[in-house]
Amino acid sequence: MSVSARLIELGIELPSVVPPVAAYVPAKAHGDLVYTAGQLPMVSGVLPAAGKVGGAVEASDAQSYARQCALNAIAAAAAAVGGVDRLTGVLKVTGFVASTADFTGQPGVINGASEVLGEIFGEAGRHARSAVGVPVLPLDSPVEVEVVFSFA
């Protein structure tokens, strides 16, 4: 099943590509890989929440923000390679969670990204991953996700 057909089946509409907030591009293709820049959980150009996970932001909310980051990454990668159906798999996810010093649930937060990628890409969505706690992210976002996709 194509990625676009799977998105329709899941009732997922990809967002518009989030414009860069600094001097970079949203995604860059090289060889048969496309690397995304760090994607924030922007929805219609707006960050849905700000602050630290384990503080002002609940882990369950942050997990849904990680999901949105992954959808933003798919949109950016698809735009860089000429369409979502050119994406053939997910190789690596790096997730950053702005969290309080005592919060240790970063892997659970980044599951929001990993799970939606698995739903969309199936077996080809299984990936290597890092989930890292950091003190602060751009725009005080609670989550940021980078993805490396394969494409044909």
Give the model's pLDDT for residue 147.
98
The whole-model pTM stands at: 0.97
- The domain locations on the chain are 3-16+26-151
Q: Give the DSSP letter string of 51-118.
A: S-BTTTB-HHHHHHHHHHHHHHHHHHHHHHHTSGGGEEEEEEEEEEEEB-TT---HHHHHHHHHHHHH
Of 46, 146, 59, 49, the C-alpha closest to 95 is: 146
Q: Hey, what CATH topology would domain 3-16+26-151 get?
A: 60s Ribosomal Protein L30; Chain: A; (3.30.1330)
Q: Per-residue pLDDT tens for 10-57?
A: 999 999 999 998 999 999 999 999 999 999 999 999 999 999 999 999
Q: What percent of the chain clears pLDDT 70, i.e. is strictly above it?
A: 100
Answer for the pair 53, 143: CB distance below 8 angstroms, yes or no.
yes
